[in-house]
Amino acid sequence: MIKLANPLFYPLSILVGGVVLVVGVRFAKIPNVVILPTAALVATVGAALLNSREPNEEKLAKQQLQKELQMLQNAAKNLADKSGDLRQEAKHLLTDDSFKIELLAIVEEACDRATELPKKIDRLSQRVQGHNSLLSPTELQQQLLEVQNKLSVSSGAARQHLEQLANSLKRNIELAKAGEDTRQAQLVNLYTLIQETAGILQNLQNKLRTSDLTKFEEVNELRSLSAELNSYQENMEILVGR
Query: Tell me: the pLDDT tens digits for 191-213?
Result: 888 888 898 899 988 988 888 88
DSSP for 160-188 reads HHHHHHHHHHHHHHHHHHTT---HHHHHH
User: What confidence category does residue 54 fall into, taking pLDDT thresholds of 50, 70 and 90?
Assistant: low
Is residue 7 over pLDDT 70? no
Is residue 86 over pLDDT 80? yes
b/e string for 191-203 if b means 16 or more Cβ within 10 A? bebbeebbebbee
Chain center to CA of 93: 30
Q: What angle do CA 199, 114, 181 make, to 5 degrees?
A: 85
User: What confidence category does residue 58 fall into, taking pLDDT thresholds of 50, 70 and 90?
Assistant: low
The domain locations on the chain are 7-53, 56-240
> Which of 139, 138, 152 lies closest to 241, judged by CA?
139
> Which of 7, 146, 133, 119 lies closest to 65, judged by CA?
133
**Alpha helix (H) residue ranges in the chain:** 11-22, 32-53, 56-93, 98-128, 137-151, 156-177, 183-210, 216-240
What's the CA gap between 203 and 28, in Å, rounded? Answer: 62
What contacts 208, CB < 8 A, 6 or more positions away? 86, 89, 90, 93, 222
| Mean pLDDT, rounded, of the chain | 79
Is residue 241 over pLDDT 80? no
User: What confidence category does residue 40 fall into, taking pLDDT thresholds of 50, 70 and 90?
Assistant: confident
Report pLDDT for 123: 81
> Percentage of residues in the chain with pLDDT exceeding 70?
79
Residue that wins the pLDDT comparison between 67 and 73: 73
Report pLDDT for 242: 54
C-beta contacts of 43-47 below 8 A and 24+ residues apart: 43/7, 43/13, 43/14, 43/16, 43/17, 43/18, 44/4, 44/5, 44/7, 44/13, 45/13, 46/7, 46/10, 46/12, 46/13, 46/16, 46/17, 47/4, 47/5, 47/6, 47/7, 47/9, 47/10, 47/13
Decide if 235 contacts 115 (C-beta within 8 A). no
